[in-house]
């Protein structure tokens, strides 16, 4: 049954739909422009693909526009100070991506003359580029017939071919099916067309089959089970970890932060000092100060939920080993989201209190 669905059944109607309905995205070359010979900039394609890992298009747009305004080329990015790039990435999450972004930009400049390699195999040797990103850059930037399988494409393939094996077990089969449909002509547009179809028409809860260009060949639609696919193996509930976070500033109104270790969660980012995060964290503060508890903030990481108790001291003497950021230079937006949540909770203490006054 699955073998009778061929590339030609899909490509023509899907590309015609894409020509009329492609999403306008800041990193994208519209299909009409591409047809006129305008070629995507591999730097912008790569940057967008790194940002889009685990992150929505809506969240990425503003970051992408800021990054490309600050660093219009890969050479500009390679020459940027680490701290400036990490601060611009703050709030986007998964900070290993930002560290690898810089490493990759510097390798491109140092070893590839500032030009992205167009070979899938060479792309795979670059920091932070795995099989998915290598395929996406190859297809979108270089029009290579590589198969790009993200969550949207998995959903479309599951439904087109009525794959009832749950994800993630079905991934190899979905990859094989998607590969079979990948055309050699307009491969970049095709890759983006399937993603757009999944994002705008073949959506998770209520696929709009009545306006879908592939409704005539879709097995799940024919069987009336589109909204039930793809099936998924139930996820285990995430464990909860606890911790303490300490927000303060000096009498000179310098915020007392620390740079987190390069390896580990929020690696290389600025943040408030914290305890370790586990089931029973130590409640001993990192240095003496008149700490008082102002509440809790919650944040979810990939593998656990975190509840941090927020402690505030209105005025401390600058402790050793910390990073002091003067009030005038302090931008809460340079902090990762978890640390910004702690600041938002703590800042009323500083707004309402004369610096140096005694805690309540
Ligand atoms: Fe998805 Fe419906 Fe189109 Fe099938 S017909 S690909 S289920 S939107």
pLDDT digits (tens, 9 = 90+) for 177-198: 999 999 999 999 999 999 999 9
Residues 66 and 96 in one domain: yes
Q: Does 233 map to a domain?
A: no
CA of 183 to the centre of ligand 1 (A): 20
Query: Is there a domain that residue 359 lies in?
Result: no
Q: Count of domains in the chain?
A: 2
- Mean pLDDT, all residues of the chain: 93
* Structural domain of 292: 240-351
- Check pLDDT > 50 for residue 355: no
- Which atom of ligand 1 is the closest one to the Cα of 156? 6
C-alpha to C-alpha distances, 355 to 86, 295, 306, 358, nearest whole angstrom: 30, 20, 30, 9
Q: What is the pLDDT of residues 11-61, one digit of tens each?
A: 999 999 999 999 999 999 999 999 999 999 999 999 999 999 989 999 999
Residue 3 clears pLDDT 60, i.e. is over it: no
CATH number at residue 176: 1.10.340.30
217 and 347 belong to one structural domain: no
Query: Does 78 share its domain with 218?
Result: yes
Ligand 1, atom 4, residue with closest C-alpha: 218
Cα–ligand 1 centroid distance for 159 (angstroms):
6
Residue 154 known to be catalytic: no
**Three-state DSSP class for residue 295:** strand
Residues in contact with ligand 1 (CB, 6 Å cut-off)? 156, 159-160, 201-202, 207-209, 212, 214-215, 218, 220-221, 226
- Integer angstrom CA distances of residue 203 from 13, 52, 112, 153, 210: 18, 18, 39, 11, 13
CATH number of residue 262's parent domain: 3.90.79.10
- Output the pLDDT for position 352: 59
Same domain, 71 and 196: yes
- Whether the pLDDT of residue 360 is over 90: the answer is no
Q: Round to whole Å and give the CA distance between 142 and 155.
A: 25
The three-state secondary structure class of 238 is: coil
């Amino acid at each position: 049954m699955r073998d009778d669905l061929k590339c030609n059944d899909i490509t023509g109607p899907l590309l015609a739909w894409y020509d009329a309905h492609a999403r306008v995205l800041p990193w994208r070359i519209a299909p009409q422009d591409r047809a006129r010979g305008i070629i995507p900039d591999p730097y912008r394609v790569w940057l967008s693909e790194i940002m889009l890992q685990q992150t929505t298009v809506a969240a990425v747009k503003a970051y992408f526009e800021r990054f490309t305004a600050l660093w219009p080329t890969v050479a500009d990015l390679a020459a940027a100070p680490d701290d400036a790039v990490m601060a611009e990435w703050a709030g986007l999450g998964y900070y290993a991506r930002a560290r690898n972004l810089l490493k990759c930009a510097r390798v491109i400049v140092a070893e590839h003359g500032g030009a992205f390699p167009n070979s899938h195999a060479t792309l795979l040797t670059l920091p932070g580029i795995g099989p998915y990103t290598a395929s996406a850059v190859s297809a979108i930037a270089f029009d290579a017939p590589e198969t790009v399988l993200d969550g949207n494409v998995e959903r479309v393939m599951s439904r087109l071919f009525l794959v009832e094996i749950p994800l993630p077990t079905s991934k190899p089969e979905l990859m094989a099916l998607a590969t079979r449909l990948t055309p050699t002509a307009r491969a970049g547009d095709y890759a983006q067309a399937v993603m757009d179809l999944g994002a705008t028409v073949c959506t998770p809860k209520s696929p709009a089959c009545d306006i879908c260009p592939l409704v005539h060949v879709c097995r799940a639609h024919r069987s009336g089970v589109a909204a039930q696919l793809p099936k998924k193996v139930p996820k285990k509930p995430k464990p909860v970890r606890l911790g303490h976070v300490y927000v303060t500033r000096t009498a000179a109104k310098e915020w007392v932060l620390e740079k987190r270790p390069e390896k580990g969660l929020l690696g290389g980012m600025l943040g408030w000092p914290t305890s370790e995060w586990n089931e029973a964290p130590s409640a001993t503060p990192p240095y003496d100060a008149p700490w008082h508890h102002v509440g809790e903030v919650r944040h979810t990481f990939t593998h656990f939920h975190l509840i941090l108790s927020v402690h505030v001291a209105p005025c401390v003497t600058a402790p050793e080993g910390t990073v002091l950021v003067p009030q005038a230079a302090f931008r809460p937006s340079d902090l990762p989201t978890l640390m910004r949540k702690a600041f938002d909770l703590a800042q009323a203490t500083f707004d309402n209190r004369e610096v140096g006054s005694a805690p309540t």
